[in-house]
Amino acid sequence: MDKKIENKKRIKPKYYGYFFIALLLLFLIYQIFFTSSIPTFRTEIDKLSIAEVTQSKFDDYITINGNVAPISTIYMDAYEGGRVKEKLIEEGTMVKKGDIILKLENVNLYEQIMVSESNLALKQNDLRSTKLAFDSRQVEGRRSLATASTDLQRLKRNFEQNQALFDEELISREEYQLSYENYQLSKKMFDIVKEQTESDNELRRTSLKGLDADLARMQKTLGMVYQRLDHLNVRAPADGQLGFLDAEIGQNITQGQRIGQINVLTDYKIEADIDEHYIDRIKRDLKAVLVRNNTEYTLRLRKVYPEVRNGRFKIDLVFVDKKPETIRTGQSYNIKLQLGESSDALLIPKGSFFQSTGGQWIFVIGADGKEALKRPIRIGKQNSRYYEVLEGLDEGEKVITSNYDSFGDAERVIME
């Protein structure tokens, strides 16, 4: 017996339209509640700077601007104060060491010299008088010693003679005893005179030595005063160029006041200021290159100043071998300072976006080229042309490198 097979239920064609409308509603709901919830900024593509992420060699250097300065500067401070009497050399003039630049006058110093000279003369007179007195006393002491010695010899001889006569009972005991006593007294007197003479000689030696030392000190002091007098002539401390001179005729200069400087032009250095962002990477002996009239000149970083002012610190560079023939103090040069070796890296051109993001994120353009989404990245080193990308981007992607300040809090940029 044949069994009747029923046809399965099929969706009727009239319901296709309902399904299409449902799908469209779902898409619109997604656009409204999900896509539109992303903060969006719309702009014209012509107003943006767009760059491509590339894989290339990264040159680790920075470009700095430096000014030429003398290799060293010697400041001139006034050793002595005084009134400017004469100005012999003007600013900008080449000078030799020892050339007189200014002549000063100081009345008080002149008076000190007169007083020192007067005191020295008095001390010299005192020394001469003391020497004369000691010499006279020394002569008198020698005379007394000679007399005492002669008396001792005579009385000793008389005693010895009386002793022989007394032994033979030719003279009385009294006469013998008297000669003995006179002889003993003479011996004591001789010892006293000798001791006094030796004491006088020692006193003379020590006293004159002290007086000579005092006189030498006074002469040295007077010499120093004369040297101060010579310091009233302000001289060039080295060969070079008189950079500036802050002194005019009739002006009063105080002791220690800075009145000028000498620029030593035997060589030059270049002074530059660098952003404190690089302070941990700037070390002595780094190499740098200066290009002038299509010629490269090599420099070496000689000194890094530790002080940071207004977000910048100072360095000095010197030429390694040759230098530009027309170099002059005050000239400005652009210099490439090499911070490290070259290496392969992902690179994006430098742009204003960095000021807005600090290099922590960037807008990456999608494949359709009509929108860009915010993406976190990590920036490494940088030079005057490129940033080194460590994370967040791939080669060939395109990014917006212009300023983001007008984007506000947008997470997506629509480009029309």
241-254 tens-digit pLDDT: 898 888 889 999 89
Q: What is the pTM assigned to this prediction? A: 0.50
The Cα–Cα gap between 380 and 60 comes to 11
- 323 lies in some domain: yes
In this structure, the answer to whether residues 223 and 125 fall within a common structural domain is yes
The Cα–Cα gap between 10 and 23 comes to 20
- 204 lies in some domain: yes
In this structure, the answer to whether residues 277 and 332 fall within a common structural domain is yes
In this structure, the answer to whether residues 334 and 353 fall within a common structural domain is no
Q: Any idea what the CATH number is for the domain that residue 391 is in?
A: 2.40.420.20
In this structure, the answer to whether residues 54 and 145 fall within a common structural domain is no
Q: Any idea what the CATH number is for the domain that residue 279 is in?
A: 2.40.30.170
- 19 lies in some domain: no
- Asked if the model's pLDDT at residue 1 lies above 50, the reply is no
| Angstrom distances, CA of residue 86 to CA of 76, 103, 110, 301 | 17, 5, 18, 42
Q: Which of 302, 323, 338 is the last residue of a domain?
A: 338
Q: Is 330 left (phi over 0), alpha (psi -120 to 50) or beta?
A: left
Segment of 145-149, 346-350, 379-383 carrying the highest mean pLDDT? 346-350
Q: Are 72 and 268 in contact (CB under 8 A)?
A: no
Structure tokens that stand for 147 in this block? 């007399």
In this structure, the answer to whether residues 303 and 386 fall within a common structural domain is no
Residues 211-259 have pLDDT tens digits of 777 777 777 877 777 777 888 889 998 888 898 888 889 999 898 899 9
In this structure, the answer to whether residues 305 and 348 fall within a common structural domain is no
Q: Are 268 and 68 in contact (CB under 8 A)?
A: yes
In this structure, the answer to whether residues 210 and 296 fall within a common structural domain is no
**pLDDT at site 11:** 53
- 354 lies in some domain: yes
Q: Which of 338, 353, 382 is the last residue of a domain?
A: 338
Q: Across the chain, what does the average pLDDT equal?
A: 85
Task: Give, as one character, the DSSP assignment of residue 47.
Answer: G
Pairing of strands 252-253, 295-309: unpaired
Question: What's the gap between Cα 59 and its chain centre?
Answer: 32
Q: Which of 291, 310, 338 is the last residue of a domain?
A: 338
- Asked if the model's pLDDT at residue 196 lies above 50, the reply is yes
**pLDDT at site 314:** 95
How many folded domains does the chain comprise?
Answer: 3
- Asked if the model's pLDDT at residue 162 lies above 80, the reply is yes
In this structure, the answer to whether residues 286 and 310 fall within a common structural domain is yes
**pLDDT at site 395:** 92
Cβ neighbours around 155 below 10 Å, total: 21
Range of the domain at 218: 108-230
In this structure, the answer to whether residues 117 and 193 fall within a common structural domain is yes
**pLDDT at site 31:** 54
In this structure, the answer to whether residues 206 and 186 fall within a common structural domain is yes
- What percentage of the chain carries pLDDT values higher than 70? 92
**pLDDT at site 27:** 62
